[in-house]
Structure 1
Amino acid sequence: MTAAQRPAERPLFGELPGDISVSFEFFPPKTEKMEAQLWDAITQLAPLAPGFVSVTYGAGGSTRERTHATVSRLVRETDLVPAAHLTCVGASRGEIDEIADQYWEAGVRHIVALRGDPPPADGGKFVPHPEGYTCAADLVEGLKARHDFDISVAAYPEVHPEALSAQADLDNLKRKIDAGASRAITQFFFSTDAYFRFLDKALAAGITAPILPGIMPVTSFAAIRRMSGNTEIPGWLESMFEGLDERPGPRALVAAVAAADLCKRLYDGGVRDFHFYTLNKAEQTYAICQLLGLRPKPVIGEIAA
């Protein structure tokens, strides 16, 4: 092979300046073992200086107390900015307002406001509480009227499964932004084209707030299929994970590479803000951030596990 035929010495992730911002999502633990895993992940990821870390809220408000406990501990024991998920499901306006007041009093200033998923007992169909908030836009408006929260909302590049149409879904996002949300965070996706087309449509609709891409490393391909909704799973991705169901080590490595490649393509398209669905595991998310050039910063004090 002649010199002219040799590929250029340009690694895919070489010389990235690390000029990105990140945020991380965690879920509240159910057991002491899971709590230890959560705080180990937080400890490992904190040096990457995330803009915020969000804590999820189970279907029907099923993790309300555990979400509040996790967020409160983040406030007490870390310098991280916690963002508490809050939904419309299964509670009156008064109950939700009381929860919002408790968060404000605890020092929480960032809320991820969602309509929320109904509990399985409701057959998967959302029915507003007779005295509750009717939708996420209604919730955003109520929260902003109560306190000056920084509010994030959800966005769906490949359309929410329950939306009447792509346009109706986009209109709903605009209502949430117009009600006072500061940014949107997307459902996970695997197509950069879908994300960038969505950004173009959002901008054309008058939505100028940031829309952060939600990145989900594939820890279980079967789980991704269950959670995908309207998200397209490309054939090449399925091929990458073929035969790895019982091989967690190689599967984790492949997942990190696949997610890092997605982030690099987004980066090449101008994206500098990334939101990672960590599933309370640090290794893959940390590796992806490392490949994108992000380096840890000194952490003041320690987080007790």
Structure 2
Amino acid sequence: MELSLEFFPPKTEEGAAKLRSVREQLSRALKPTFISVTFGAGGSTQDGTLSTVKEIHEAGQEAAPHLSCVGSSKEKIRELLQQYKQIGIRRIVALRGDLPSGMGQYGEFHHAEELVRFIRSETDSHFHIEVAAYPEMHPQAKSMSDDILMFANKMKAGADSAITQYFFNSDAYFRFVDEAYKLGVDQPIVPGIMPITNSTQLLRFSDACGAEIPRWIRLRLQSFGDDSASIKSFGLDVVTDLCDQLRVAGVPGLHFYSLNQAETTLTIAKNLDLLKA
């Protein structure tokens, strides 16, 4: 089973040094297939993404920058694709992205399907294209059936595989995969895994992205109050069990949203006997 990681670009030299240390720890222990790197808030900047991707690539690892439809013109995306090709990048995560507050519309691309088609038309098969999947429905989708249809169209547009939004109910993932396969999707759909370390942060993330926190988990987290040790211990149990269910079912991989931290992801991998070193 393949493992992969997600990082976000650091904003300071101190953050860059910390991320370097985290990346080295996780890479030694997990031997990830690739490391994806997000973009600035709302797709506002790719500068940090490019520099982080270059460092990962120069360290001998496969890096996958995120590309967003938000505020992007065809010329801008074409330029980024050329930059990534020139430094040897072979994998891209193509996303619609979310509009920042106060920004009223997307650029020349309105949906990830359009972005995927453009990347294919510009670079043929050079890039392995990852896209996003939403087992519990994208928060802006009209309906579950409409969301899965849009996902299937995105895959048929030229995507090689997909990474899901995080979830805590494995049935949601299995149901989504079954429905997607009924629509002709045969590419891998890799579960995205979110460690639980901070209940306030998790609730905020989940409310924004539409990921459901089951009631029993939400109540347990609330019962711990500010007891961070209990929150982390409980979170490790919940996420380890989720990953174990997915692994037993034969998922193609696990993609960890590391939040630029090493400890929790390493502990989950150790619990699952997935450490490679």
User: TM tier, shorter chain?
Assistant: over 0.9
* Structure 2 residue 203 is the aligned partner of structure 1 residue 225: yes
Instruction: Give, in angstroms, the shift of residue 243 of structure 1.
Output: 4.3
Corresponding residue of 2:216: 236
Instruction: Give, in angstroms, the shift of residue 241 of structure 1.
Output: 2.1
Kept in 1, the 8 Å contact 2:99–2:106? The answer is no
Percent identity (aligned): 42
Q: Map of 1:59-208 to 2, 5 A cutoff? A: 59-76=41-58, 78-122=59-103, 127-129=105-107, 132-147=108-123, 148-208=126-186
Instruction: Give, in angstroms, the shift of residue 245 of structure 1.
Output: 4.5
User: What are the ranges of 5 or more consecutive residues in structure 1 without an aligned counterpart?
Assistant: 1-19, 298-305
Residue-by-residue CA offset, 1:275-297 (whole Å, 9 max, x unaligned): 11000001111111112121234
Distance (Å, rounded) in 2 between the aligned partners of 1:84 and 1:296: 24
Task: Give the greater-gyration-radius structure (CA).
Answer: 1
Aligned with 2:222: secondary structure? coil
Instruction: Give, in angstroms, the shift of residue 59 of structure 1.
Output: 3.1
Kept in 2, the 8 Å contact 1:59–1:118? The answer is no
Kept in 2, the 8 Å contact 1:28–1:56? The answer is yes
* Structure 2 residue 38 is the aligned partner of structure 1 residue 56: yes
Match of 2:227 among 247, 260, 267: 247
* Structure 2 residue 247 is the aligned partner of structure 1 residue 271: no
Instruction: Give, in angstroms, the shift of residue 177 of structure 1.
Output: 0.9
Distance (Å, rounded) in 2 between the aligned partners of 1:251 and 1:60: 29
Kept in 2, the 8 Å contact 1:28–1:63? The answer is no
* Structure 2 residue 236 is the aligned partner of structure 1 residue 256: yes
* Structure 2 residue 194 is the aligned partner of structure 1 residue 216: yes
Kept in 1, the 8 Å contact 2:35–2:63? The answer is yes
Residue-by-residue CA offset, 1:42-63 (whole Å, 9 max, x unaligned): 0110021111100001233223
Normalised to the residue count of structure 1, the TM-score between the two structures is: 0.85
Distance (Å, rounded) in 2 between the aligned partners of 1:225 and 1:250: 17
Distance (Å, rounded) in 1 between the aligned partners of 2:273 and 2:89: 30
User: What are the ranges of 5 or more consecutive residues in structure 2 without an aligned counterpart?
Assistant: none
Aligned with 2:132: secondary structure? strand
Distance (Å, rounded) in 2 between the aligned partners of 1:118 and 1:230: 15
Query: Which stretch of structure 1 is more off in the superposition, 55-64 or 184-193?
Result: 55-64
2:192 is matched by which residue type in structure 1?
G
Aligned with 1:163: secondary structure? coil
Aligned with 1:241: secondary structure? helix
- Which aligned segments of 4 or more residues in structure 1 are displaced greater than 4 angstroms? none
Instruction: Give, in angstroms, the shift of residue 254 of structure 1.
Output: 2.3
Distance (Å, rounded) in 2 between the aligned partners of 1:133 and 1:233: 31
Distance (Å, rounded) in 2 between the aligned partners of 1:221 and 1:249: 11
Aligned residue pairs: how many? 272
Q: Root-mean-square deviation (CA), in Å?
A: 1.5
Corresponding residue of 2:21: 40
Instruction: Give, in angstroms, the shift of residue 217 of structure 1.
Output: 0.8
1:71 is matched by which residue type in structure 2?
V
Query: Which stretch of structure 1 is more off in the superposition, 199-208 or 57-66?
Result: 57-66
Aligned with 2:166: secondary structure? coil
Aligned with 2:229: secondary structure? helix
Residue-by-residue CA offset, 1:224-261 (whole Å, 9 max, x unaligned): 22222332211221233234453333322322221111
1:275–1:296 Cα change, 3 Å: same
1:105–1:141 Cα change, 3 Å: same
Instruction: Give, in angstroms, the shift of residue 208 of structure 1.
Output: 0.8
